[in-house]
Structure formats: C-alpha cells, structure tokens
Amino acid sequence: MNHRDFDVIVVGGGHAGVEAALACARSGHRTLLATMQLDSIAKMSCNPAIGGTAKGQVVREIDALGGEMARCIDRTGIQYKMLNRSKGPAVHSPRAQADRTAYQYDMKRVCEEQDNLALRQASAETLLLHNDEAVGIRTNIVT
C-alpha cells in the first residue's frame, strides 16, 4: 500500500487501536495503524488480565463482533479463574491472566499478517483537514 493511500487511519496501538484497525482491515478497508512504538502494540502495561466483571463484558462484545482479544488470550493465557463464585451466577465472571510478552508478540503477529493493514511507527502530530473533513494525519516521520 502506498503510504498515502488508506481508507482508515487508526492512531495508537493499544487494545482499542488494535481492535479498531483489525476490524477495518477485515472489512476490506485499506487501513493504517500508526503507533509510537511498533514493539509495544497491545502492550499490557499494568494488569495482564483479560476478563472480570466490567472488562469481561467488553471483551465478550468485541469477541461477538469478530475481535481478536479473546482469541489472543486463549492462545497466551497462563491462569484462568472464575471470579465471584461465592455470589450468584449473574455475577460470575471468567478472567484469564496472560503471559504479557506472549500476548503482545501474538497480537503484533496477527496485525503483521492481516491483509489490508499497514503498520507504521510514527507519532501523529496533526490531523489533516479538507473542507472540514479529516483526510489524513501528519506524522513526525518525513518521507
């Protein structure tokens, strides 16, 4: 893909950015994922867990829409637990702990292998507008 030829540009390679970029690319849109550090795509900075009562609901919804997070935790999980077992079944909530490094590398591999998805290590500095419509980004990388 030409560096200027994208239908969608996603800025940021965290969990949300990765899921957004993959969804767009899988829908046939030429997608750019621009992130400050390619080696930090989907990095689990604080808590290496996927699931729980709140985040688990979001993960299940992303999974139902074809997202990657649940599949990645299935491949890289090291501990699985059902939370709130002492309470009623309505609040039982599965949680998986990930091998942080394996999760990050696996998610990066998925992104690298995805058709219609280009990865660029760059910091978005400016949103480019034309007639009040976003048409691109200017990055810190000059090409």
Q: Which CATH class is domain 8-139?
A: alpha beta
d(CA 49, CA 76): 11
Strands 93-98 and 77-83: antiparallel
CA dihedral 129, 125, 12, 131 (to 10 degrees): 0
pLDDT of res. 142 = 61
| Residue from 42, 101, 109, 98 nearest 75 by CA | 98
Mean pLDDT of the chain: 92
Q: What is the pTM of this model?
A: 0.88
* Structure tokens belonging to residue 42: 């989907």
The 3-state DSSP class for residue 110 equals helix
Rounded to whole angstroms, how far apart are CA atoms 136 and 141? Answer: 14
**Tokens standing for 26?**
């899988």
Whole-angstrom distance, CA of residue 32 vs CA of residue 7: 8
Which H or E run includes 23? helix 15-26
Q: Residue 83 pLDDT > 90, yes or no?
A: yes
Give yes or no for a contact between 30 and 122, defined as CB atoms under 8 angstroms apart.
no
Predicted confidence (pLDDT) per residue in 15-59, tens digit: 999 999 999 999 999 999 999 999 999 998 888 999 888 888 899
